[in-house]
Amino acid sequence: MAPIKLAIIGAGPSSFYVASRLLSLLPPTSPRHSAINIHMYDRLWAPHGLVRYGVAPDHPEVKNCTNKFDGTAKDPRLRFFGNVNVTTTAAASPIPHNLSLPFSSLLQNYTHLLFSSGCTIPTLHPALPPSDRCVPALSFVHWYTQHPSVADKPPPPLERLEHVSIIGQGNVSLDVARMLLTPPSTLEKYDVPNNVLDVLRKSAVKHVSIVGRRGPLEAAFTTKELREMMNLEVASMEPLDPGLLLVPEGEKLTRQQQRTMQLLQKGSKNKPGSTPKTWSFEFFRSPTHLAPAPEDTKSSAYPLSLTLAHNTLSETKRAVPTGASSTLRTSMVVTSLGHHGEPSAWYDSALGHIRTVGGRVVNEHGQTLRNVYASGWAAMGARGVLASTMMDAYAVADTILSDAFPGEFRKDDGDALGSVVPLGDVSKSAEPVLAGSVTSPDSPPAEVVRGLEDGVVTSYEDWKMVDAEEVRRGEVCGKERERMGWEEARRFLQAKCGDSVAQS
């Protein structure tokens, strides 16, 4: 069988878990050890995707997986190319300093392809078009994690906002609420850029409403995130209507539902009326309209009027309007309704992600594409946590190897590698879209080689130098790290390169 030269689009957790699994199954003792080379591409100049640019700063333990990724990146069979936007459509990159790499270049230079680019587009609410006072939660998250796509955008005007309404009751909603309600003096020890802390110190936010179309038993947040909200230092939860905490007769609760109800019944650590900031859950409410508020004494601090339809649950647990409605005065609306993938090759708009069967990409006719795969959110949609992402990635890696070297890989217990049941019929694959073989198993496309020479494309070695410097700068001011943006990182790397040349 021909060697594998695999291009991975994306450098987040799923990408690294796939690479780690592939390389570990082909160790130095394996006769196939040199039969694989992996090139990982990301439009972000730094690796790790949502771990760097999505995890809440006060959850540093979630980032421990990067230690495993660092170990994987030491394998010379893996190379990372950052700041590269693989263009599968005519759409421009949201990051202006990216090197643009035509999709056709990957197809010509690799024998295998893995889409692992996540879900990067926020799902919007039809009644709440984006504006300067209605923004997706992703924009807020990108601001406080210094995502390259928002480098030139102004920060949220927190100094003018007293009331923020968040639409959606998942973990991201609670992350945003927690960032708004946690004292900057607490956040400053974490991975929060100093310019973000400066904005938070000027914040006028006094209350956060977290709106959901269904009730507490259907809410998507985890008990861990809810407990953190209950334990906020200077904020308290407004009491809930006791009727919301009644369990329908005959309904059996899961363990998580039981814990959620117990936490809601107990309430926040700080009693209502004892804190300068407050927050509330607005259950069984759906936004239907957002408009400027009437002119009155509250209009400057609460310039928006958010109309909410009241809901009940159908027998199938769907939110059904009751016909009643109410109005919520607010300063800003943040929508947190999930994410979907970007339109690309073999993307299915109805699914919101790439069409796959058993990890293998299929075309619009249902035919499996030979040697083309997808993993993580790119293949399943925006759901699951790191543990489920890892298990999915391992299964896809097993499928790649079982397709490439059929019959060669067995576990010690005799089971098929990874216990993957092939769901796609590879024998009926569509015409190949990738090069059947390559002459340079370790060389990236010519555009990327030039980008490396010009300092536009970053390597993992570049990232580790930046990583060490960010941690060093953070130690100086007593925090986890102090982040660099692209321009600062590029200047730093150019200076390091110059120093290395001078020393040699």
Positions at the binding site for FAD:
14, 50, 86
Q: How far apart are CA 44 and CA 148, in angstroms?
A: 7
Q: Distance between alpha carbon 30 and the CA centroid of its chain, in Å?
A: 35
Widest Cα–Cα separation across the chain: 77
Binding residues: 14, 50, 86, 169-172, 213-214, 225
Instruction: State whether residue 275 is helix, strand or coil.
Output: coil
Q: How far apart are CA 367 and CA 85, in angstroms?
A: 27
For 15, 25, 199, 374, the CA distances from 19, given in Å and listed in that order, are 6, 10, 39, 13
Kind of pairing between the strands at 112-115 and 207-211: unpaired
300: which residues sit within 8 A by CB, 6+ positions away?
none
CA distance 21 to 25: 6
Q: Which residues are annotated as a binding site for NADP(+)?
A: 169-172, 213-214, 225
Q: Whose CA is closest to 24, among 102, 77, 100? A: 77
> For residue 14, which amino acid is it?
S
Q: Which helix (H) or strand (E) holds 399?
A: helix 386-404
Encoded amino acid at 219, one letter: A
Task: Give SS3 for 39.
Answer: strand
Closest C-alpha among 317, 312, 305 to residue 128 = 305
37-62 per-residue burial string, b: 16 or more CB within 10 A, e: under 16: bbbbbbbbbbbbbbbbbbbbbbbeee
Bridge partners for 279 per DSSP = 208, 237
Q: List C-alpha distances in Å: 286 to 58, 125, 135, 170, 331.
A: 30, 10, 17, 15, 18
495 DSSP β-pair partners: none
